[in-house]
């Protein structure tokens, strides 16, 4: 007689019967934004739910490299496409993005809201077709992707909004989106939950309260480099300007940083995409340039991270207690810079004059390497990250009850 079938300890009976949900992910085509969502998507999969990322090729490529399934929407266009055509490097840095309590900053975010609202109207049918064909039960959306909330309303599906980190969409962006929806009679689902991977001490002041979710460092996959340990006893500085910043600003921020660090006795590691590596030209001797090596593989052994203020990049440093120097260029990066200085975990050079002052940047770097108070601040933010509920816990609390 065969052994009696039973569910393993800790497995929900309904889950064992295959009662998982189908969660359709609606990201923006930003690698950093999608990478921030990946650990929660993994938690969904491990809890027995299905996950499908619906996006165009640049985002689906990131999804596939992260072990997620994807549906390609090749016709999809997003507001950033037009932005890339309209800007030039002389426009950056642009601190106005953080001034949402001023008319100039409000105007920027009103325009962003209008652009994403228009994009939702243009492509809602494409998302509806994918959701119906796949049989989606829930939507997991980026805060900028208004189409995610429109999709939830159109198909009467619950919507979870997953913040990529610092969330600048709670003030003028949200107000203008609501006004546009009311004026046009467009239904937008209210989020069942706003999942927030940002520690409260760092979050933008105008961001509504969300459901705390532990940030899990994930900057992609790669091979562990043989040099990941700092065994030489020399200070180690990593420079990371994200995957898309230099394509908008040109090489200026990187060259300014490298000019400043050359006067500091430290090992310097620069992470670059292949495209950025080709565009920046020759770099100083002694600088280690790495491509396709995720930060989480070596950042814990670094003494300082210099970066652009991207949340996924910065939170990785916070998780490992690494102080930071932030040179923000656009969008929420200025909110991040304010947050990191507010917590005592680092310093920032916010405007064009500060970013061009090589001597002042060198002084900031030396101060960050010398003063242990900055590491204390970074370690406290790291403890705040670890104190948040894990993705597994949040899936069990937010998603499992809806699976019935």
Per-residue model confidence as pLDDT tens digits over 285-331: 889 999 889 999 999 999 999 999 999 999 999 999 999 999 999 89
Whether residue 394 sits in one domain with residue 362 = no
Q: Report the alpha-carbon distance of residue 266 to residue 250 in Å, rounded.
A: 25
Whether residue 60 sits in one domain with residue 201 = yes
Q: Is residue 224 part of a domain?
A: no
Whether residue 393 sits in one domain with residue 360 = no
pLDDT at 79 over 80: no
Whether residue 262 sits in one domain with residue 148 = no
What's residue 333's pLDDT? Answer: 95
- Bridge partner list, 346: 324
Dig out the tokens for 233 from the structure. Answer: 């006893």
Whether residue 339 sits in one domain with residue 294 = yes
Q: Is residue 10 part of a domain?
A: no
Domain that holds residue 90: 22-214+388-399
Residue 239, SS3?
strand
> Rounded to the nearest 5°, which phi and psi values hold at 168?
-90, 10
**Please, what's the b/e burial string for 220-241 (b: 16 or more CB within 10 A of its CB; e: otherwise)?**
bebeeeebeebeeeebbbbbbb
Domain CATH number, residue 44: 3.40.50.2000
**CA distances, 375 to each of 240, 318, 319 (Å):** 19, 9, 11
Whether residue 182 sits in one domain with residue 105 = yes
Whether residue 392 sits in one domain with residue 352 = no
What's residue 404's pLDDT? Answer: 66
Q: Is residue 305 part of a domain?
A: yes
In terms of average pLDDT, the best of 6-20, 193-207, 234-248 is 193-207
Closest CA to 219 of 275, 324, 293: 293
Q: Is residue 32 part of a domain?
A: yes
pLDDT at 336 over 70: yes
What's residue 231's pLDDT? Answer: 87
Whether residue 291 sits in one domain with residue 182 = no
Whether residue 93 sits in one domain with residue 73 = yes
**33-56 residue pLDDT tens:** 999 999 999 999 999 999 999 999
CB atoms within 10 A of CB 155: 16
**242-296 residue pLDDT tens:** 888 888 888 899 999 999 999 999 999 999 987 788 777 778 888 999 988 999 9
What's residue 266's pLDDT? Answer: 95
pTM: 0.91
Number of domains in the chain: 2
pLDDT at 29 over 90: no
In terms of average pLDDT, the best of 77-91, 107-121, 190-204 is 190-204
Q: Is residue 1 part of a domain?
A: no
Whether residue 243 sits in one domain with residue 182 = no
What's residue 7's pLDDT? Answer: 38
Q: Report the alpha-carbon distance of residue 244 to residue 246 in Å, rounded.
A: 6
Whether residue 356 sits in one domain with residue 276 = yes
**165-217 residue pLDDT tens:** 999 998 999 999 999 999 999 999 999 999 999 999 999 999 999 999 999 99
Q: Is residue 57 part of a domain?
A: yes
Judge contact between 330 and 97, C-beta under 8 A: yes
Whether residue 173 sits in one domain with residue 59 = yes
Dig out the tokens for 251 from the structure. Answer: 């090489």
**Residue carrying the six token digits 């990201």:** 27
- Bridge partner list, 24: 52, 139
Q: Is residue 37 part of a domain?
A: yes
Q: Is residue 315 part of a domain?
A: yes
> What is the chain's mean pLDDT, rounded?
91
């Amino acid at each position: 007689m065969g052994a009696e079938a039973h569910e393993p300890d800790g497995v929900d009976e309904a889950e064992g019967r295959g009662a998982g949900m189908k969660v359709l992910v609606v990201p923006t085509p930003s690698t950093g934004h999608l990478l921030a969502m990946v650990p929660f998507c993994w938690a969904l999969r491990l809890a027995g739910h299905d996950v499908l990322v619906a996006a165009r090729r640049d985002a689906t490529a990131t999804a596939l490299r992260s072990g997620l399934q994807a549906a390609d929407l090749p016709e999809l266009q997003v507001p950033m496409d037009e932005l890339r055509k309209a800007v030039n490097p002389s426009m950056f840095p642009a601190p106005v993005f953080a001034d949402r309590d001023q008319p100039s900053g409000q105007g920027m975010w009103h325009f962003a809201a209008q652009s994403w609202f228009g994009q939702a109207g243009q492509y809602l049918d494409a998302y509806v077709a994918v959701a119906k064909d796949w049989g989606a039960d829930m939507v997991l959306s980026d805060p900028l992707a208004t189409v995610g909330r429109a999709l939830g309303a159109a198909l009467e599906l619950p919507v979870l909004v997953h913040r990529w980190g610092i969330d600048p969409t709670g003030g003028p962006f949200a107000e203008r989106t609501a006004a546009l929806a009311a004026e046009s009679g467009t239904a937008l689902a209210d989020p069942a939950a706003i999942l927030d991977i940002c520690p409260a001490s760092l979050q933008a002041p105008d961001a509504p309260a969300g459901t705390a979710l532990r940030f899990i460092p994930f900057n992609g996959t790669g091979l562990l480099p043989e040099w990941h340990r700092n065994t030489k006893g020399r200070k180690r500085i990593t420079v990371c300007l994200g995957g898309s910043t230099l394509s908008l600003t040109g090489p200026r921020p990187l060259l300014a940083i490298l000019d400043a660090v050359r006067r500091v006795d430290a090992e310097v590691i620069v992470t670059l995409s292949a495209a950025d590596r080709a565009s920046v030209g020759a770099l100083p001797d002694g600088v280690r340039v790495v491509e396709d090596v995720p930060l989480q593989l070596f950042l814990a052994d670094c003494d300082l991270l210099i970066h652009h203020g991207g949340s996924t990049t910065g939170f990785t440093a916070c998780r490992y207690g690494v102080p930071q120097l932030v040179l923000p260029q656009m969008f929420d990066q200025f909110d991040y810079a304010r947050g990191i200085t507010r917590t005592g975990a680092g310093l920032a050079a916010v405007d064009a004059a500060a970013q061009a002052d090589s001597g002042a940047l060198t002084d900031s770097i030396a101060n960050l390497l010398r003063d242990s108070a900055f590491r204390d601040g970074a370690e406290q933010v790291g403890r705040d990250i670890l104190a948040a509920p894990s993705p597994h816990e949040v899936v069990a609390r937010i998603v499992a009850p809806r699976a019935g």
